[in-house]
Amino acid sequence: MIARTFDSDLRIRARVLQIMAALERAGATPISNRDLHSVAYLANVLSPIWDVEPLETSVLKDRAGPRSSAFEHEIDLCIGLGLLVVDALQPDADNPARLDATYRLNARAARPVLAAITLLPDEQSVEHFLNELAFAFVEIKPELRDDAALQDASWSNPAVSEGRIVDFGEHSQRAAVNPSYNAAQAFQRFAPEGIRLHRAEKLLMYVRLLKRRAHG
Amino acid sequence: MIAFPLIERISVHRYALYPGRDGTGELDIDLGRGPWLVLGVNGLGKSTLLLLLRYLLAGPVRTRSAGFAGEREDLQPVNNRFFAVRVAGGADHATGKIVVRFGAKTLTVERSLGTLALHQAHIVDATTSRLLQTEEDYRALITDLMGVAQFEDVVRVLDHLIFYLEARQSLIWDLAAQFELFRALLTPTLSADLRRLEGEIVSADSAARNLNATLYKITQRRDREKNRRVTADDTRARIAAAQGELDKHVNDELALAKQLEAAEILRGDCNLQRKRGEKLVDDAAQAYEKIKFDVLRQAFAGVEPTDQYLYLKLLSEQICIACNQAAPDAAAELQKRHDEGRCVVCGNPRHLDHNVDSIGDVLAARASEAFRLLETRRAELEDFQKQYVKANDAVYALYDEVSKIRLAAEDKQGLIRKLRKNLPAEENLELTREEERIRTLRDEVLTFRHERETAERAIEDLLAQLSVAVEKVREKLELAFHEQAAPFFAESVRLVYAPRTAKIGQGGRSFDFPAFEVEMTSGATLGQFVRRTPDQVSLSQREYLEIIFRMVLIDVLGEAAGSLVVDGPEGSLDAVFAGRAGDLFARFSSAGQTNVLLACNIVEGGFIPHSLSNYQRSDRSDRIVNLLEQATPTQALKTLQPIYLAKVAEILDRDPS
């Protein structure tokens, strides 16, 4: 029997809680496992807008959408520590061979941890960024939220085939040309003269673009 | 709009190799839908007939090998007596004629087989007809008909796409050839500019490097001369020693840059394998958890979802997610409680009939199989992880080495500057004069570098446009490749878009060039394995990956119209794959406006019957160009012809198995 545990990564675990807290504030919880991975992915590719360090800089382009093993493991550990609650556990409607869990934050247990995280100056900026992202994300219809990540510019980059790696800074020498970031920045070009778009506006406009593409 | 040639008719007149059926010196072949098989024995002229088609269309020229080149011509002459020397009398009166269709236009080309000179070319469509008699006019015409921008690109399309002949010109394994072909077909209006800028970059880079080499020699000579004339003192000796070490560092850095490039490619491959491994583990874990969930649903009745989740993780992955530790004993205990019909949470006995689904044999077998798969996937992932770590470490080790060498080189440069200041003033003056000459040369080097950089900036935009054009058809090409390759190969094969990064000159910037590569499963490696060189696959795989890639390009870029001409398609196949290859050609010929012309030996097995499977027995012989009857017989054939003819009749009468 091979039973292996991953090393825990407190940085990722903190981000799991921060994302869940932001989603809670935006009224997007309980959230399904797939949607949570979508938000985590968007947080990674859009992090340069906020000068926030992404948790991961690449992901396998899979038909089912972005999914990070390390992030998944930290979700599990958050559940094990009582910081997240599994709200429901049932067979996945899209793929009966899988289970689908939906989560919410266990506010009482998570609050002191989140308060400690927020004491760190750079994590305050992360919190603002995730709040903006969550409030924008919640505008997308719940049943189309997992599609939003598939519409993202880095994910849908035609230069990356399915089964290959979407690299937004891991080994790519050109992390600055992350297509999602570039697309968000491009909104400035369409702003009226003299108007300088705030990064929150660019983020919102970009997620609305994903929403429009997901809604068809 | 790109149009590939669809060969409709071939005529060979008074060429001694093909006297024709009745010995009149006329060989006429009307080609409709294919596949068409040119059958014969060795030495009868099968390959020559296919080459003849190629030379009738292109004339006596070829393009240089694919790859970045300077400002020399792409078109190179070939021996125009190629066909003449194969027959007695020099083929002085022999001619060849080919009729091809480009969309609604029909082109007839007639050439001397003695010199390959153009006799005439005739273009006809619904409303117009035009006769051309010069090679220059003909080249302009066929360039226009194909929809490319320059005649060199016509020759590239013929040699890399339409004709897959004995020389086995590579496309799928030759990324430079892919770039040139995509450039010609997808951005025809940019093709000439891209080629010109490429030439400018290579020439400027080469000039700069040559001058640098001269500069190096002059510097060395000056140092030697000075050392010879003046009594060598410690300072000069130290300068010379430091200069030697500096040169070595520069060379070492160049060598390391090459190693680093290879190491980064390997790391990319390992990373891809690792990510795919993670996905497979995730899938296997999820599948196993689901089976466990089905089994234990009743046992967990009344337990909160979070606790269910904890137990599920413990039971299926044998990991306690509360403390992130392996927990095989606890998992075994839970499993035991469940198997014994006790409550999995507290261990108290419970009524089996009410609360627990007994684990049926089928479910048990499924669970066992799913768990075995999970274990296998985990072991594979661990292996992939190790390989990635090793490859990543290798890259960082090389970066470290490069940094150390750069630092050492900077040290040496500083030392040389410092030591030179210590030389006597008079010597410094002389040195200054030498330095002045050297500086002039250096300025020249900088000028060439500047030229290269200007061309690099210009080509960047054009390459981006080409990439966009290729990316637009990427998915279609990948899907079409899958459709053709899946029924043929036993392995799982994928065509994957994978732009390559390369420098145009030896120095200067790197650019992304559109290219495709092949992934294939293998018994010897885990998962899909990227094949970058032809020696990573068998001979038949190599050839059929090439053939399928060509079929797909004709299909997607030529809107399913065009001919594919293949020499010796049966040569590398075993009994099973011969039939599959026949089916492949039959399928390709039955779609759109495509036909295939295949030159092959009279072989047993499924190749010929399967190739002609679209036709009734009675029609099959009409699809054969039987050189046993139409070519000058070899000495062996003079006695064996009846046996061969009987064999051909027997093979054509055979239905595909």
What's the pLDDT at B426?
65
Q: State mean pLDDT over B175-187.
A: 95
φ, ψ for residue B322 (rounded to 5)?
Answer: -75, -35
Q: What is the mean pLDDT of residues A105-109?
A: 90
Nearest-CA residue of chain A relative to B297? A90
For residues A169-195, give the mean pLDDT. 80
Mean pLDDT of the region B602-615: 92
**pLDDT of A2 strictly over 50:** no
Q: What is the pLDDT of residue B23?
A: 82
Say yes or no for a CB contact (<8 Å) between B305 and A89.
yes
Most confident of A40-44, A82-86, A121-125, B640-644: A40-44
Q: Residue B466: pLDDT above 70?
A: yes
Instruction: Find out whether B546 and B172 touch, Cβ atoms under 8 Å.
Output: yes
**CB-CB under 8 Å, A101 with B305:** yes
DSSP string covering B458-484, please?
HHHHHHHHHHHHHHHHHHHHHHHHHHH
B451 touches chain A (CB under 8 A): no
Please state, in angstroms and rounded to a whole number, the distance separating the CA atoms of residues B586 and A53: 55
Interchain contact, B317 vs A3, CB within 8 Å: yes
Apex B301 CA angle, A20 and A96, nearest 5: 65
CA atoms within 13 A on the CB side of B138: 20
Structure tokens at B289: 């958890």
Chain A nearest-CA residue for B320: A80
Nearest-CA distance B532 → chain A (Å): 15
Whether residue B510 is predicted with pLDDT greater than 80 in this model: the reply is yes
> B326, A5: Cβ pair inside 8 Å?
yes
- Please tell me which residue of chain B has the smallest CA distance to A64: B279
Instruction: Indicate the range of A79-83, B185-189, B416-420 predicted with least confidence.
Output: B416-420
Q: Is the pLDDT of residue B355 over 70?
A: no
What are residue B597's phi and psi, to 5 degrees? Answer: -120, 120
B217 token code pair: 């020699």
- In the predicted model, is pLDDT for residue A7 greater than 50? yes
Residue A129, beta-bridge partner list: none
Kindly state the percentage of chain B with pLDDT values over 70: 92
**pLDDT for the residue B292:** 76
pLDDT given at position B436: 78
In this model, does residue B363 exceed pLDDT 50?
Answer: yes
Task: Average the pLDDT over B51-80 and give the result.
Answer: 92
Q: How confident is the model at residue B9 (pLDDT cuts 50, 70, 90)?
A: very high
Angstrom distance (rounded) from CA A156 to CA A166: 9
Residues from chain A that touch B264, judged by Cβ atoms under 8 A, are 171
- Percent of chain A at pLDDT > 90 equals 54
- Give the bridge partners for B493, in sequence order: B520
**Distance of alpha carbon B384 from alpha carbon B380, whole angstroms:** 6
Report how far residue B159's alpha carbon sits from residue B63's, in angstroms, rounded to the nearest whole number: 9
- Tell me the shortest Cα–Cα distance from A112 to chain B, in angstroms: 18
Q: Which has the closest alpha carbon to B59: B78, B85, B86, B84?
A: B78
Smallest CA–CA distance, residue B305 to chain A, in Å, is 5
Average pLDDT over all residues of chain A = 88
Work out the average pLDDT over B620-639.
88
User: Best mutation site among B186, B261, B266, B275 for testing chain A: the one with the most A CBs within 10 Å?
Assistant: B275
B380/A contact by beta carbon, under 8 A? no
B279 and chain A in contact, CB less than 8 A = yes
Least confidently predicted of A155-169, B5-19, B149-163, B334-348: B334-348
Contact A8 B324 (CB under 8 A): yes
> Which amino acid, B321?
I
Long-range contacts of B517-522 (CB under 8 A, 24+ apart): B517/B172, B517/B175, B518/B172, B518/B493, B518/B494, B518/B545, B519/A163, B519/B493, B519/B494, B520/B489, B520/B491, B520/B492, B520/B493, B520/B494, B521/B491, B521/B492, B521/B493, B522/B491
Q: How far is A204 from chain B (nearest CA, A)?
A: 28
Query: Smallest CA–CA separation between A198 and chain B, in Å?
Result: 30
Residue numbers of B between 466 and 495 with CB closer than 8 Å to A: 467, 471-472, 474-475, 478, 494
- A87 by Cβ neighbours in 10 Å (0-12 / 13-18 / 19+) ranks as middle
Mean pLDDT of chain B: 87
Closest partner residue to A81 among B312, B322, B528, by Cβ? Answer: B322
- Residues of chain B contacting A170 with CB distance shorter than 8 Å: 271
- Confidence class of residue B531 from pLDDT cuts 50, 70 and 90? confident
Read out DSSP for A182-201?
Answer: HHHHHGGGGSPTT----HHH
Is 90 exceeded by the pLDDT of residue A194? no
Q: Which chain A residues have a beta carbon less than 8 Å from that of B268?
A: 165, 171
Which range (A3-12, A117-126, B531-540, B580-589) has the least confidence?
A3-12
Start-to-end CA span in chain A (Å): 48
Which among B278, B382, B519 is the nearest to A69, CB-wise?
B278
pLDDT average, residue stretch B418-431: 70
B483: Cα separation from own chain's centroid: 18
Q: Is B29 buried (19+), middle (13-18) or exposed (0-12) by CB count in 10 A?
A: middle
| pLDDT at res. B370 | 85
Summarize the confidence of residues B390-397 as an average pLDDT.
92
What integer is the mean pLDDT of B389-408?
A: 91
Distance CA B300, CA B304 (A): 8
The nearest CA of chain A is from the CA of B319 a distance in Å of: 7
Q: Using the beta-carbon criterion (under 8 Å), do A163 and B528 form an inter-chain contact?
A: yes
Distance (Å, whole) CA A149 – CA A127: 20
- Chain B residue whose CA is closest to A59: B275
A28, A38 contact by CB (below 8 A): no
Write out the residues of chain A at the interface with chain B, using a CB-CB cutoff of 8 A.
1-6, 8, 58-60, 62, 67, 69, 72, 76-77, 79-82, 84-89, 91, 96-99, 101, 158-161, 163-165, 170-171
Measure Cα distances from B169 to B6, B174, B543 in Å.
Answer: 20, 9, 10
| CB pair distance less than 8 Å for A60 and B279 | yes
A6, A158, A171 member nearest B267 (Cβ) = A171
Average pLDDT on A60-68 reads 91
Short-list A98, A69, A6, CA closest to B277: A69
pLDDT at B582: 95
CA-CA distance, B442 to B440, in Å (whole number)?
Answer: 5
Indicate whether B353 pLDDT > 50. no
Lowest mean pLDDT among A114-123, A186-195, B297-306, B345-354: B345-354
> For A52-175, where are the alpha helices, taking DSSP H only?
69-80, 107-118, 121-137, 145-150
Give pLDDT, residue A126.
93
C-alpha distances in Å from residue B222, one per residue of B22, B225, B226:
80, 5, 6
Is the confidence at residue B354, as pLDDT, over 70?
Answer: no
Residue B216's pLDDT is: 83
Q: Return the number of CB contacts < 8 Å for A and B.
A: 119
Tell me the pLDDT band of A91, cut-offs 50, 70 and 90.
Answer: confident
Could you list the beta-strand ranges (E) of B300-459: 319-320, 325-326
| CB-CB neighbors (< 8 A) of B304 in chain A | 86
Percent of residues, chain A, with pLDDT higher than 70: 93
Give pLDDT, residue B350.
Answer: 63
Q: Which two tokens stand for residue B552?
A: 């797909």
Of B275, B324, B494, the CB nearest to A77: B324
With an 8 Å Cβ cutoff, are A86 and B472 in contact?
no
